[in-house]
Copies of this chain bind each other. A is one copy, B any other.
Amino acid sequence: MKRARVTLADVAALAKVDRAVVSRVVNNDPALSIRPETRERVLAAVAQLGYRPNAAARSLRTARAHMFGLFLPDFANPVYAEIIKGAEAAAAGLGCVLVTGSSTGAGLGGYMDLLGQGRIDGLLLAGAEGESELLAQLDRMAVPWLMLNRRSPAVKRYVILDDERAARLAVEHLVGLGHRRIAHLAGPEGADTALRRSAGWRAAMRDAGLPEGPIVAAGYTPAGGAAAMAALLAAPEPPTAVFVANVASAIGAMESVREAGLDIPRDVSMVAVHDLDLASYLAPPLTTVRMPLAELGRRGVELLGSLKPDDSVAEVLDGPIELIARRSTAPPVSGGPGG
């Protein structure tokens, strides 16, 4: 399928017009009017030759790459898949492509250098870690960027989900079922999302007039969840329900419950944040809080495309957050677990 490179000049020659005309037709340039029959001739030539503009030349001239980037720490995490979906759709709506890359591994630093100047119109960063090095890199690039679902004193542009509201929803569900001893398996200490979810749990407990139950840092990993849950179950008066900061640690926590010879939800109810497909395949299917992740990606791209160079943004995404009740939550059996 060898196909010679077709340029503007080829199209212009075939249509017997100047290259400028072709360019204006192709871009629907409103500044200059083109006679309809000329336009037809040009479009016919474009179609006949299969002309497609050279992106590099266009970018060079216009200083716009028509490309946004989204960097994330871990492609294996399905949370990001949702975000990517929304961001891609939004980019396509702006006539741009979204490219994703991982912000870890061989070093985001070198990777960003490769991106060079003029290759990307804006960068979305999701769940970034290794902040100082990362931010230094970003400053060296003349590229606008934005953090997704992460605040930080050093960051002036971010969009976050309402993790606090999500946490309240989870806790209110448990309270509604009759639970009073509701523990919390928190995310990594210091992680922004983790802090917000913990704050929501605390607020909801207070609002319900319940004593703040035990809170244990579990990280965002199965191993962390397993250890934290084991610790909770070993306490003299274990909780009848747990609000877990994410699904990964909930998986570990479920394992600990099983290993203790207890049953979910009979002995312990469990809710976690983010309604991943995975949640419905666990045993038992896990009750979760669904967050507007795709919306987060969409909004991120939208902002990147419209912000002025020095604008700052601090937005809490106002999307639907809902509790997806599955079989991991049920009213407490009086007497609690261990009985």
Contacts and interface: CB of A to CB of B under 8 A. Distances in A.
Interface stretch (A13-21, A31-39, A52-60, A165-173): A52-60
A305 interface: no
B85 A105 contact: yes
A92 B110 contact: yes
A117 B54 contact: yes
Contacts of A98: 101
A100 interface: yes
A85 B89 contact: no
Copies of this chain, tallied across the complex: 2
Given A96-B114, A118-B56, A281 B309 contact: no
A119 B251 contact: no
Q: In the complex, which range does the number of interface residues on chain A fall in?
A: 35 or more
A118 B84 contact: no
Nearest to A251: B281
A81 B75 contact: yes
Given A85-B75, A283-B255, A117 B55 contact: yes
23 contacts: A1-B139, A2-B309, A5-B117, A52-B140, A53-B116, A54-B116, A55-B117, A56-B65, A60-B60, A74-B81, A75-B100, A76-B277, A88-B106, A88-B111, A92-B106, A92-B111, A96-B114, A98-B101, A100-B101, A222-B281, A252-B281, A254-B283, A255-B283
Given A66-B114, A99-B100, 10 more contacts: A5-B142, A56-B119, A57-B118, A58-B116, A75-B80, A75-B84, A92-B114, A95-B114, A100-B101, A254-B283
Interface of A: 1-3, 5, 50, 52-60, 65-67, 69, 74-76, 78, 80-82, 84-85, 88-89, 92, 95-102, 105-106, 110-111, 113-119, 139-142, 222, 251-252, 254-255, 258, 276-278, 281, 283, 309-310
